[in-house]
Structure 1
Amino acid sequence: MVRNNVLEAKLDTMESTGKKRLIIVLGMHRSGTSAITRGLQVMGIDLGNNLIPAMEGVNDKGFWEDSDINAFNNELLNSLGSDWHHVAPIKSSDIETLLKSCYFTRAVELLRQKVDKNTIFGFKDPRVAKLLPFWKEVFTYCQFDTRCILVIRHPLSVTKSLNKRDSFDAEKSYLLWLGHVIESLSGSMDLQRVLVDYDKLMKSPELEIDRISRQLDFKVDYDELHNYAVQFLDKALQHTIHDLSELSLDEACPLLVHEIYTKLLEVASGEMNLDDPVLCRLIEQWSEEFQRLKPALALVDRYFSKNLVNNQIIAEYSEQIKHINQAVAEREAAVIEKDAAIAEKDAAIAEKDAAIAEKDAALARVNSVLTSKSWRITHPLRTLKKWLKPSRSAP
């Protein structure tokens, strides 16, 4: 029996490991994780059939993100008083709380449902980077063969995209990029993984997909790869392309962001291995430095949360004022309409009054004639003339 590349990859995996593979795409929001996740299908990786639909102007070609996993991650963050756009890392005590709660059992059941339907299942949700310590416990408990694709994109491109979509300040977006990248790097150190740069994928999709497949031990369906590169990937998806030097010129960009992105570009270009001991020590240093920023980052979150509440209140008041102004405008329009109707009726009455006055004037003229002295004097003559007038019926 002839087997295609995708089927061979799935069967070889089952025969060699006895475990089902789980592929996680980790990265910052607006970093091209959707495009790269779609590329997993080229390697025979199933993404499930309950994906978040595409959204025009945000992700025109789809998020390629499982709806159930996305909803569950949002629930996890909400239970901790956090959100996807909070810059402070999740506390280790909060992770312990999640692991001891019903959320752990629910996460196990959710992933088993997804993976049991597929030999190889892949998913992405940028929220996983913040919750990776929790999810790794789930992966271990389920005994999945878990592998990761770490996605990076020029921080300035991410910043501009978040400003366009969410009106975020550049400083906040850089901190979000920092947190998601550091947590992805440090949380995946004991997993088989590969790092890919979104701009490099857009420039050379065949080369990047082939590199990913080799490092994660997958086989590529090259017909599907051609369709992916030609039909799915679109240069219009890549709204911005920036040079590394531009980060140095942006005063809003922290030096740590520049340092990390510079080093990771070396990894994406093949100049350094992701598991190089030198890089691993750097990742530990970056993580420690990020953790030391936790009080300041928590303050940033409180500031933005307070502003968000104030903005919501302002928005509610603005909406109320809008409704009031609309009601006033409607009433004014009704008054104007009534005034116009009254004016129209007044004009009709005035017209009728003029007609009556004209008739009264005519009657007055007739009465004036009938009551005049000459009319009375000539009355006998008119009567005689009437009697003397010959009848038309006479022979």
Structure 2
Amino acid sequence: MSESSTAILVLGMHRSGTSALTRVLNLLGAHVGDDLLAAKADNARGFWEHAEAVAIHDRLLTALGMSWHDPRELPAGWLASSAGRTAAGEVARLIERDMKGKRLWAVKDPRMCRLAPLWIEALRSLGIGAKAVLAVRDPYEVASSLHVRDGWSHQHTYLMWAEHLLEALRATADIPRALVSYEQLLGNWRMHIGRLADQLGISWDPGPEHAGPAIEAFLTPDERHHDVSHSGLDVQFGYVPPTFLKRLHAACVETSLDANWRRLDEFDRQFSAVAEVFAGPMDEVTTSRDKAAQVGLEQGHLAQERLERIHQLQVELEEAVRNQANLQTLAVERIERIHQLDAALATATTERGAFEALSAERIERIHQLQADLARLQHVELDLASRTSEMHSVRDQLKDLSNLAGSRWWALKRVVRPLRPSQSLSAPVKG
């Protein structure tokens, strides 16, 4: 691959709208691969994440002693570690296999906020242009969403939110990048998609005018289940985000519009200055939590197996009940079908009897018509004979008439000189 191929890294904290953003980019012509994670109940319209990329990220985090929901910073020098080198090779092979020859493609996984250097290095080694779109969402909405889905406390998620965003900003400082908020995407995607193209120096194919109907059908406001503008529970339940996060989110929205990334540098400096203070305690808390979880896991292993067996038996029983219900339903349907066929057969038998009676009437009528035709043919023959006789009589009458006329003329010529009127009345000349 070469610079003619451009990769968009979609970076954003979990539940920040990265799935919606990636699908929009995909509808605008960005290839996302074919091996995608299947949709789930918490993201019914799809995650639009490359399944193997997610697997690579999880293996790397596990090798580094971390997880996707770990609020701690990544270990220093992780990219140069053996696990990092292995993951880099896997990413490069994935790109070569699944993205080769694509003019524009995108990859998305919230873990990439922390692992972006892995992808940027792999892209540079392959001569592919790397660009990034950072997706942000109000930290309260993100924390509320993760609390419902995974049970994490708001405070835990707030720390994750800051880590993901600031590490993504740090990793993309040297490549073309743009920023878009979840609210902007839902509110006026056309304007902000155009802005992203301008800031990244790319073109969409197909453009928004052609992809618009599909994007409009995909981006529906009802998918936004946690809206800070409609929440009145923050203060009451102590869920309100720290002021630092509120200010950082507001600065991100401003930066998305004017691309003044310098205003975000100060937030990174402030966060990094205090990160060392709680890094140690965070390690201790996380280690203690992991040990407690391991002990609980070992103690509850047998119970878990029994619970799983009970659950399996329940599933099998439910399946058997469903099968029996299906068989009963099928039997009822078959019986009803038999009744329908019996009724249809009775109707057909009745119709056949009526048809046979009608057919008999028609055959009898045909015989009658044939007899009438025979009589008519006889009459026609007799009429033809009478007509011939009549013509013969007419010819004889004509001959007789002609003969009578000629005899009368001959007789008239003989008698004419003897007419008395001529011999008696003529005067005597003297």
Query: TM-score when scaled to structure 2?
Result: 0.64
Q: State the alpha-carbon separation in 2 of the partners of residues 278 and 41 from structure 1.
A: 31
Who is 2:223 aligned against?
237
Look up the SS of the partner of 1:279 in the other structure: helix
Letter of the structure 1 residue corresponding to residue 97 of structure 2: Q
Matches of 1:247 and 1:189 in 2, distance apart?
37
Shift of 1:246: 7.7
Question: Does residue 27 in structure 1 map to residue 12 in structure 2?
Answer: yes
Structure 2 vs 1, CA of residues 245 and 157 (structure 1 numbering), >3 Å: closer, same or farther? closer
CA distance change for structure 1 residues 155 and 169 in 2, over 3 Å: closer, same or farther?
same
Residue of structure 1 in register with 2:249 after alignment: 261
Deviation for aligned residue 1:281: 3.9
The answer to whether the aligner puts 1:226 opposite 2:212 as a matched pair is yes
Within 5 Å, give how 1:1-395 maps onto structure 2. 18-55=3-40, 57-98=41-82, 101-220=85-204, 221-243=207-229, 249=235, 251=238, 253-268=241-256, 270=257, 272-275=258-261, 277-290=262-275, 292-306=277-291, 308-309=293-294, 312=297, 316=301, 318-319=303-304, 322=307
Task: Give 1:100 shift.
Answer: 6.8
Give distance in 1, aligned partners of 2:222 and 2:175: 34
- Deviation at residue 280 of structure 1 after TM alignment: 2.9
Judge conservation of contact 1:50–1:67 (CA < 8 Å) in 2.
yes
Q: Which amino acid aligns with 1:43?
A: L
SS in 1 for 2:33: coil
**How far apart in 2 are the matches of 1:155 and 1:224?**
34
In the TM superposition, what is the alpha-carbon distance from 1:298 to its structure 2 partner? 2.3
Aligned equivalents of 1:73, 1:321: Cα separation in 2: 33
**SS across alignment from 2:77:** helix
Contact 1:87 1:300 in 2 (8 A): no
Question: Cα RMSD over matched residues?
Answer: 3.1
Q: Is the 8 A contact 2:3 2:129 kept in 1?
A: no
Per-residue Cα deviation, 1:87-126 (whole angstroms, up to 9, x for no partner): 1111123222147743332222222223314222211011
Measured in 2, the distance between the counterparts of 1:25 and 1:324 equals 41
Higher alpha-carbon deviation: 90-99 or 27-36: 90-99
Q: Distance in 1 between matches of 2:196 and 2:106?
A: 14
Aligned-residue offset at 1:302: 2.6
Q: How many residues align?
A: 309
Alpha carbons of structure 1 residues 325 and 136: separation in structure 2 relative to 1, 3 Å: closer
CA distance in 1, matches of 2:3, 2:160: 38
Distance 1:18 1:325 in 2: 57
Is 1:202–1:235's contact at 8 Å kept on the other side of the alignment? yes
Kept in 2, the 8 Å contact 1:179–1:290? The answer is: no
User: Partners of 1:299 and 1:247 in 2: how far apart?
Assistant: 32
Taking the aligned partners of 2:109 and 2:12, their CA distance within structure 1 comes to 8
Percent of aligned positions with the same letter in both sequences?
25
Report the alpha carbon displacement of residue 74 of structure 1 after superposing the two structures with TM. 0.9
Q: What is the deviation of 1:171?
A: 1.2
| Greater relative contact order structure (CA < 8 Å, 6+ sep) | 1
Unaligned runs of 5+ in 1: 1-13, 327-395
**Cα distance in 1 between the residues matched to 2:91 and 2:234:** 42
SS in 1 for 2:124: helix
CA offsets, 1:320-368, max 9 Å, x none? 5657999xxxxxxxxxxxxxxxxxxxxxxxxxxxxxxxxxxxxxxxxxx
User: Contact 2:64–2:83 (CA<8 Å) still a contact in 1?
Assistant: no
State the alpha-carbon separation in 2 of the partners of residues 219 and 101 from structure 1: 33
Q: Contact 2:248/2:264 (CA < 8 Å) preserved in 1?
A: no
Name which one, 1 or 2, has greater alpha-carbon Rg: 2
